[in-house]
Structure 1
Amino acid sequence: MQFKGRTVLVFVLLTMMASSLLTLMIVDTTPLQLWKEKASGSSAASAASSSSLTSKDLNKISTTYQLIESKYLNQTDHDKLVNGAINGMLESLEDPFTVYMDQKEAKQFDESISSSFQGIGAEVSMDDGKFVIVSPIKGSPAEKAGIQANDVIVAVNGDKLDGLTLNQAVMKIRGPKGTQAKLDLVRQGVGDPIQVIVVRDNIDVETVYAEMLPDQIGKIEIRQFSANTATRFAEELKKLEGKGMKGLVIDVRNDPGGLLNVVVDIVNPFVQSGKPIVQVENRDGKREPTPSTGSGKNYPVTVLINKGSASASEILAGAFQEAVGSKIIGETSYGKGTVQVTFEKEMGDGSNIKMTVYKWLTPNGNWIHKKGIQPDITIDQPAYFKAAPLTKKSVLKPDTTSDDVKNLQLMLTGLGFSTERTDGYYNDNTVTAVKAFQRTNGLPMTGEVDTDTANKLEKAVLTQIRDPKNDAQLKAAVQELQKEIAK
């Protein structure tokens, strides 16, 4: 399966529906029809014909609609009934990545994939009725507010999300720049829900960031796989190679995915010609590999992943792990091994269906869905990297126990103010550490944590997290490259 330039029949979507992520898709209607015929084949076409709706089926649906319209206690809305019927069919598939978008939702989706956008900057999926954060985009309002992968959103601005579709929840989360989204989150290992206030903003559409680290080791960070990401990656890679780069770190941590053809273009130069980069499998179990046309590189590569690395990021990691032999470093990735395609033209009225059509497999034929890519070298970040934002519901005081105090202790310890314990009990050492932090930051030395102290503390922790010298996973990736270079 080739995905090069204008030979692409359709750009297939690998990312999940996002709350405020720039999700990209390019669909040419004529090639799409050709692609559908090619993908389905005669056997699939026959199956579709044999399973089409009978007159009895249509009459049953029509009768249900007429009964609701004429007999139901309350006045009904035509569009709501029709959309509900479509949602019901798709929900019966029990696939969180197959969704229906009405005209308003489809328009928002199209705007998100064609231009810059405003929102919180986090990828959201629906899992067993829960709205789960896949990944916050680096540098986004969501990341700055301390939102983490696998956080579950239960309410937005006081409105519970129970019973909503994914797109309905997305509509509540997104909003204009400068407005606030108060998110109630449930986090694994934290007893009480956390309330996080995120100020919506313009989300940066730049996807590639590169720099040269000491010892001529290059680093390229990919934040998502958008339409121009492969071009930007090639540009930055050429610059680093021109400066005499001896090894490369590719960072796809908290990268929720993107376009299949884009990740193929990025990986292609690193894989020896003829080797598969990825395999795609249809509903009949027929697999089609995408062979590389590249020649490989003469320097070692390591790839950084974490639990927020999903979809196209996992294709990249799997290809480097199995087809290149690179070391994958960090945490087990998210685990999304399916491919979605949109069907807007087929709907004909401005609505849209995003449907799972394929599964993708690694070069060796492994399906990582719900399992993720396993790193060759597992490295956890320091504990304070995963500290939850403080709820700020009340002033934290000595001789109390709570999840807030536990997170307070993790933050203080990470900043070098020892509390001697991180079990959530506000002991004398915690008081001393709080006073030391307050003195350092020009705050009243009360030994208690009010909103001002909490805000200063969270800001200091975020600065600490962003400092590369504290990035244990990056350090491990660089050390691995240094070993390879020294051989």
Structure 2
Amino acid sequence: MHFKGRTVFAFVMLTMIASVLVTLTIADQMINPDQHSAPALTASASDDGEQFGLKEDELTKLNAVLELIETKYYQKVDRHELLDGAVSGMMSSLDDPYSVYMEKDVAQHFSESIEGSFTGIGAEVTLENGKIVVVSPIKGSPAERSGLLAKDVLLSVNGAKLDGLNLQDAVAKIRGPKGTKAKIQVQRAGFSDPIQLVLIRDDIDVETVYGKLRKDGTGVIEIRQFSLHTAERFKQELAKLEEQGMKGLVLDVRNNPGGVLPVVVDIAQSFLDKGATVVQVEDREGKREKTLSKGESKTYPIAVLMNNGSASASEILAGALQESAGAKLVGETSFGKGTVQVSYNKALGDGSLLKMTIAKWLTPKGNWIHENGIKPDIAIEPPDLYKVARLALEETLKPDTLGEQVRSVQIMLHGLGYEPKREDGYYGLETVEAVKKFQAEHSLPTTGQVDKLTGEALEAAVIKWIQDEKNDTQLHEAIKAVSRK
């Protein structure tokens, strides 16, 4: 199969680059650009006589509208913008967030994202029911550092509302040069009021594979996304761990939004017997094509660590290893993206690109996980500190007040070992004492109020806590699963 695949979501890379861009993000296949060099304006027919392309009356109608706009509209318009709008309208009518049209500049960013070169906030987004929803933040990115989470709904950026915009226009609002600030308002499940996050756009780490061998003999390989060179890097890390005597392996695909399908197939084959099914692709007619492994299984136990931000290609890997290699899935239910996109650029002839859903993918046993995700064999939620909303203090938080910011402070204090006694958002006496204790231990004025300085110190302590592997309960559970086997 030669699909190049898109991401339904779109990497908010290149400054969220275009969620619409990131094709890499989801189970997809390597694009083999179509062979046409220019768009066909005449109708064509299939072998059975079915006609495709515009009929004469349809072409007449479109030309009439174009002429009326150009000659009668109250102000001059850009002809190229009209054509782009017409194509975008056709794609929008499909009501499929993964089928999108990208204008030339956006298409260029998309191609760069496939190569693994990103600048932006480092998150992938999709369009659900007219709302911009986060698929996953990229590890080490501004999005992750700010506390952006999978399933967050983005409401506005720097005051500009995103509700009702198409994916491309929404991403355009978020895009911007490295070093610039993006104030993003977020709606998060479990919070009654919107959360405000402040991100500084930056270069996104292009390395996609990180491996290490623990003292207990367990190898851990983290795959952050499936870009063009990920399989090569993965095999290097795997060989290194095996040479060091690895006894078991944990594959960490948490917050991995997906990528290029042939790449994940190549990686999955490293653990599947020759002839075992890696993935199935089903077309519009219901015909299925199986991709079979050319590799061989391993003798050591394997676990796949995933969460709500594990999407597309990550889900293909999890499903293949669970059903065809007996691996254990640990963590949270995955995102649930089970369709395949192909990118077409040469047919359009002007540097723009069309990404369109052409099939759905199924696990080796024929399960379609779209919108449902894959459930783990061993379910374990991360500690609250991993999901707490970051602070965006515009004024000092004081006793006897109520709000989501206070609630975040309480969750942070509790997770760090200071006991505010409550996490309901009310700034009572117990919270005051917990704040004072934190301030005293961090050489801050012990006012019992959370000003900007205290807020920054509190967030820094949370980030340090999260980065300490000993607090990663999901990873520890995955290691236990491997050790038990």
TM interval, short-chain normalised: over 0.9
- Tell me if the contact between 1:333 and 1:374 (Cα under 8 Å) persists in the aligned partners: yes
Moved more, 192-201 or 157-166: 157-166
Distance apart, 1:481 and its partner CA: 1.3
Q: Take 1:238 and 1:473, find their aligned partners in 2: how far apart are those partners?
A: 25
> 1:292 is matched by which residue type in structure 2?
S
The aligned residue for residue 251 of structure 1 is 252
Moved more, 337-346 or 72-81: 72-81
Instruction: Tell me the SS of whatever aligns to 1:108.
Output: helix
Distance apart, 1:48 and its partner CA: 8.7
- Tell me if the contact between 2:115 and 2:228 (Cα under 8 Å) persists in the aligned partners: no
2:153 maps to 1:152: yes
Within 5 Å, give how 1:445-456 maps onto structure 2.
445-456=446-457
> 1:407 is matched by which residue type in structure 2?
S
Task: Show CA shifts across 1:424-473 (max 9, x none).
Answer: 11111111110111111111111011111111111111111121111111
2:416 maps to 1:423: no
Q: Take 2:250 and 2:147, find their aligned partners in 1: how far apart are those partners?
A: 25
The aligned residue for residue 469 of structure 1 is 470
The aligned residue for residue 37 of structure 1 is none
> TM-score under structure 2 normalisation?
0.92
Q: Which segments of 5 or more consecutive residues in structure 2 lack a partner in the other structure?
A: 15-21, 37-44
The aligned residue for residue 93 of structure 1 is 94
Distance apart, 1:124 and its partner CA: 1.1
- Paired positions, count: 466
Distance apart, 1:131 and its partner CA: 1.0
Q: Take 2:72 and 2:178, find their aligned partners in 1: how far apart are those partners?
A: 45
Q: Take 2:198 and 2:123, find their aligned partners in 1: how far apart are those partners?
A: 14
2:331 maps to 1:337: no
Distance apart, 1:115 and its partner CA: 5.5
The aligned residue for residue 19 of structure 2 is none
> 1:13 is matched by which residue type in structure 2?
R
The aligned residue for residue 402 of structure 1 is 403
The aligned residue for residue 127 of structure 2 is 126
- Tell me if the contact between 2:218 and 2:249 (Cα under 8 Å) persists in the aligned partners: yes
The aligned residue for residue 189 of structure 1 is 190
The aligned residue for residue 276 of structure 2 is 275
Over 3 Å counting, the alpha-carbon distance change for 1:48 and 1:411 in structure 2 is farther
Distance apart, 1:27 and its partner CA: 4.2
The aligned residue for residue 295 of structure 1 is 296
Distance apart, 1:28 and its partner CA: 4.7
The aligned residue for residue 461 of structure 2 is 460
> 2:136 is matched by which residue type in structure 1?
S
The aligned residue for residue 173 of structure 1 is 174
Within 5 Å, give how 1:34-73 maps onto structure 2.
45-46=46-47, 49-73=50-74
The aligned residue for residue 38 of structure 1 is none
The aligned residue for residue 76 of structure 1 is 77
> 1:112 is matched by which residue type in structure 2?
S
Over 3 Å counting, the alpha-carbon distance change for 1:48 and 1:455 in structure 2 is farther
RMSD, aligned α-carbons: 1.8
Distance apart, 1:74 and its partner CA: 3.4
- Tell me if the contact between 1:249 and 1:302 (Cα under 8 Å) persists in the aligned partners: yes
Q: Which segments of 5 or more consecutive residues in structure 1 lack a partner in the other structure?
A: 2-8, 35-43
Q: Take 1:125 and 1:178, find their aligned partners in 2: how far apart are those partners?
A: 24
Distance apart, 1:23 and its partner CA: 5.0
The aligned residue for residue 203 of structure 2 is 202
Instruction: Tell me the SS of whatever aligns to 1:270.
Output: coil
The aligned residue for residue 367 of structure 1 is 368
Distance apart, 1:174 and its partner CA: 2.4
The aligned residue for residue 309 of structure 1 is 310
2:95 maps to 1:102: no
Q: Take 2:280 and 2:460, find their aligned partners in 1: how far apart are those partners?
A: 43
- Tell me if the contact between 1:13 and 1:260 (Cα under 8 Å) persists in the aligned partners: no
Q: Take 1:82 and 1:366, find their aligned partners in 2: how far apart are those partners?
A: 40
2:217 maps to 1:216: yes
Within 5 Å, give how 1:380-399 maps onto structure 2.
380-399=381-400
Over 3 Å counting, the alpha-carbon distance change for 1:384 and 1:48 in structure 2 is farther
Q: Take 1:366 and 1:193, find their aligned partners in 2: how far apart are those partners?
A: 36
> 2:289 is matched by which residue type in structure 1?
E
Distance apart, 1:383 and its partner CA: 1.6
The aligned residue for residue 233 of structure 1 is 234
Q: Take 1:298 and 1:115, find their aligned partners in 2: how far apart are those partners?
A: 32
- Tell me if the contact between 2:341 and 2:358 (Cα under 8 Å) persists in the aligned partners: yes
Instruction: Tell me the SS of whatever aligns to 2:466.
Output: helix
> TM-score under structure 1 normalisation?
0.92
Distance apart, 1:237 and its partner CA: 0.6
Over 3 Å counting, the alpha-carbon distance change for 1:130 and 1:350 in structure 2 is same
- Tell me if the contact between 1:133 and 1:152 (Cα under 8 Å) persists in the aligned partners: yes
Over 3 Å counting, the alpha-carbon distance change for 1:375 and 1:26 in structure 2 is closer
- Tell me if the contact between 1:396 and 1:449 (Cα under 8 Å) persists in the aligned partners: yes
- Tell me if the contact between 2:188 and 2:195 (Cα under 8 Å) persists in the aligned partners: yes
The aligned residue for residue 41 of structure 1 is none
Identical residues among aligned pairs (%): 53
Task: Show CA shifts across 1:13-50 (max 9, x none).
Answer: 35532111665586454xx449xxxxxxxxx9457943
Q: Take 2:455 and 2:46, find their aligned partners in 1: how far apart are those partners?
A: 61
Distance apart, 1:10 and its partner CA: 4.4
- Tell me if the contact between 1:119 and 1:176 (Cα under 8 Å) persists in the aligned partners: yes
Instruction: Tell me the SS of whatever aligns to 1:189.
Output: coil
The aligned residue for residue 12 of structure 1 is 5
Instruction: Tell me the SS of whatever aligns to 2:98.
Output: coil
Instruction: Tell me the SS of whatever aligns to 1:406.
Output: helix
Q: Take 1:47 and 1:338, find their aligned partners in 2: how far apart are those partners?
A: 27
Over 3 Å counting, the alpha-carbon distance change for 1:23 and 1:288 in structure 2 is closer
Q: Take 1:131 and 1:69, find their aligned partners in 2: how far apart are those partners?
A: 33
Q: Take 2:447 and 2:404, find their aligned partners in 1: how far apart are those partners?
A: 21
Q: Take 2:217 and 2:401, find their aligned partners in 1: how far apart are those partners?
A: 50
